[in-house]
Amino acid sequence: MSEEKLRKVFAENLKRQLELHGKQPVDLVKDLDIPFSTVSNWINATKFPRMGKIELLAQYFGIKKSDLTEEAVENSEQPAYYTDPETAKIAQEIFDDSDLHALFRAARGSKPENLAMAAELLSRLKGTNPDG
Amino acid sequence: MDNVFVYYVPLPEGIDEAVLPCFDGYTIYIDSRQSSSGMERAYRHALEHIERNDFEKFDIAEIETEAKRRELS
């Protein structure tokens, strides 16, 4: 793979992981103490990170280093929003529930237990709010 | 547009906002632990669901994939 291609692949993978985890580039600056200019260079595919930074990012997202450095294989099936099928199932159940019928802005990688917890919380809040 | 009631509450990790119909409009719950720009993004996301009549649709994956696509464009 050419150097330019490596940079582009990394940039796309990094953007995908940020989206999956509901993060913004600025979160990398704050959480990992990486200069903004460095993150910007990665996102814009103008620079490729050193191996130490790839390891740091992989740990941060809880993924393999190759998830950042290797070209992703596109899934041709119908795209599912949530990456965890159990989360997707719970989100659909909450939406189908006539008492709640709720939609969320949640990270694609949200855990099913967090969505279930949110549904429980919404049920309780709905019962206490004057607007119902 | 119907009435929109907004509440700021701590939501579980990874969930920025929830919106649901109520008897005279919609209620939006925004995670109070995020940054002000995150809250604004969450509020806009909720309003778009309302304006686009997403509550009349059926498939959550389709609704959220489309909402995310709009956010990124």
pLDDT at A34 over 90: yes
pLDDT at A74 over 60: no
pTM of the predicted model, to two decimals? 0.65
pLDDT at A75 over 60: no
pLDDT at A128 over 90: no
pLDDT at site B62: 85
Q: Contacts of residue B14 in chain A, CB cutoff 8 Å? A: 22, 106-107, 109-111, 114
Q: Is B5 on the interface with A (CB under 8 A)?
A: yes
Q: Are B15 and B31 in contact (CB under 8 A)?
A: yes
Q: Are B55 and B2 in contact (CB under 8 A)?
A: no
pLDDT one-digit tens code per residue, B14-57: 899 999 999 889 999 999 998 888 899 899 999 999 999 999 98
Q: Contacts of residue B65 in chain A, CB cutoff 8 Å? A: 79, 81
| pLDDT level of residue A81 (50, 70, 90 thresholds) | confident
Q: What is the dihedral of CA A10, A14, A20, A24, to 10 degrees?
A: -160
| pLDDT level of residue A2 (50, 70, 90 thresholds) | confident
Mean pLDDT over residues A101-127, rounded? Answer: 90
pLDDT at A76 over 50: no
Give how far the C-alpha of residue A6 lies from the chain's centroid of Cα atoms, to the nearest Å: 22
Mean pLDDT over residues B61-67, rounded? Answer: 85
Give the best residue of A20, A105, A113 to mutate against chain B (max B CB count within 10 A): A105
Q: Is B61 on the interface with A (CB under 8 A)?
A: yes
Residue A73 is classified by DSSP as: P
